[in-house]
Amino acid sequence: MGVPVIAGLGIAQPPGAAQDELWSGFFAKHFSGTTRALAERIFANSGVSHRQAAVNPLLEDVSEWPTERRMRRYQVEALPLGKEAVSRALTAAGLDAGDIGLFVVCSCTGYATPGLDILLARDLGMAPDAQRMFVGHMGCYAALPGLGAASDFVTARGRPALLLCAELTSLHIQPAGARVDTQQIVSHALFSDAAAAAVLVPGGRGYALREVASVTDTSTADHMTWEVTDAGFRMGLSPKVPQVLSRHVRDLVDDLLARHGHKLAEVDGWAVHPGGPRILNVVERELALPPEALGAARATLEQHGNCSSPTVLLILDRLLRAPVPPERVVLLAFGPGLTLYAALLERTD
């Protein structure tokens, strides 16, 4: 059987709005007193100029909605977005939905049963024997364990697998009267909505997935949280996160590359999850990368914000659409745990 290869990507995003419009039209009124001045500075320095929202706060304020109502809306909005991303990935790979042997869905922003995996398998016409896996509440790094599961299936069964990452962070704006801290403001300034899909096949042209690796520092488990509350899901984000990444990211990448006989200088594509400008700065410094190496990540943050689990696939899609696509790509993503995930891709002809 051939090595697992990413044969097609598909991206879908809801309508967008400019960051300054979101600030002046909604968030400037959402925060009050001295908090408003702090929030304005955080929004201005977020590295985001434009982002997307299935539920745009300029048009519809969900911040007072109970969680039940938000979850019902998640199903309404996520299903067509996911269908669009999956359909584009299948078309790019030259496959039909009925060819898929495993369908992996990652999401931490909405839950329902039957879930997206079941409803999309039904609507797209997947085979009755298609297996499904739902990866929930892993946060921004979920795409990489999702790719790992899909890759393992392709290797073991010799059949195509499909990954979908779909996140609607716009449903989790917290009430204006809720406890407000810097972490919450950062969350409101960064996050965005998207769906991204990837098709993996046994061999052929595309990008071979050589390995998925991870490291988790459980001593810092409280540094990043995503709590289910009566008013949606609430983000906790410690300012110490970049320090933790700085301790682990170089060893993770060096070890991954060494196992495949490569060094940092041989990587010409970097898809690094932009948890924020400080995260990218830390990765650039610790890996001793030139400024242009993380250009795709910074451009994705600027134009689309932090879309949680789909983001690393958005960056990969941007890299592969370049006039000269990279030969070797390292994907990096980070999330609760604190957990760092890395994957190595190599172009095949």
What does pLDDT average to in each consecutive run of 10 residues of the chain (349 residues)? Answer: 92 97 95 88 96 97 96 97 98 98 98 94 97 95 98 97 98 81 89 98 96 96 92 90 94 98 97 95 97 96 98 98 97 95 96
Q: Which of 181, 202, 223 is the last residue of a domain?
A: 202
Q: What is the CATH number of the domain that holds 338?
A: 3.40.47.10
165 annotated active-site: no
Q: How many domains does the chain have?
A: 2
Q: How far apart are CA 88 and CA 94, in angstroms?
A: 10
The reported pLDDT for the residue numbered 1 is: 59
Amino acid at the residue 296: A
Q: How far apart are CA 273 and CA 59, in angstroms?
A: 29
Find the domain containing 194 and state its range: 4-202
13 with 145, same domain: the answer is yes
CA distances to 19, 41, 143 from 34, in Å: 21, 11, 38
The reported pLDDT for the residue numbered 349 is: 80
Q: Which two tokens stand for residue 280?
A: 């990218």
166 with 255, same domain: the answer is no
Q: Which of 148, 170, 202 is the last residue of a domain?
A: 202
CA distances to 9, 103, 280, 330, 343 from 128, in Å: 24, 12, 43, 35, 31
253 with 163, same domain: the answer is no
CA distances to 250, 280, 289 from 235, in Å: 27, 20, 30
80 with 113, same domain: the answer is yes
19 with 143, same domain: the answer is yes
**Alpha carbon 298 to its chain's center:** 14
Q: How far apart are CA 37 and CA 31, in angstroms?
A: 9
CA distances to 78, 133, 275, 315 from 297, in Å: 24, 28, 10, 6
Q: Which of 144, 175, 202 is the last residue of a domain?
A: 202
Q: How far apart are CA 335 and CA 244, in angstroms?
A: 11
Q: How far apart are CA 77 and CA 83, in angstroms?
A: 11
Q: How far apart are CA 121 and CA 23, in angstroms?
A: 38
156 with 231, same domain: the answer is no
29 with 147, same domain: the answer is yes
Among residues 106, 108, 140, 165, which one is catalytic?
140
175 with 271, same domain: the answer is no
183 with 265, same domain: the answer is no
Q: Which two tokens stand for residue 68?
A: 């039940």
Report DSSP letters for 187-256, one per residue.
HHHHB-EEEEEEEEEESSSEEEEEEEEEEE-GGGGGGEEEEEETTEEEEEE-TTHHHHHHHHHHHHHHHH
Answer whether 0.85 is exceeded by the pTM: yes
Amino acid at the residue 157: R
212 with 196, same domain: the answer is no
212 with 80, same domain: the answer is no
47 with 112, same domain: the answer is yes
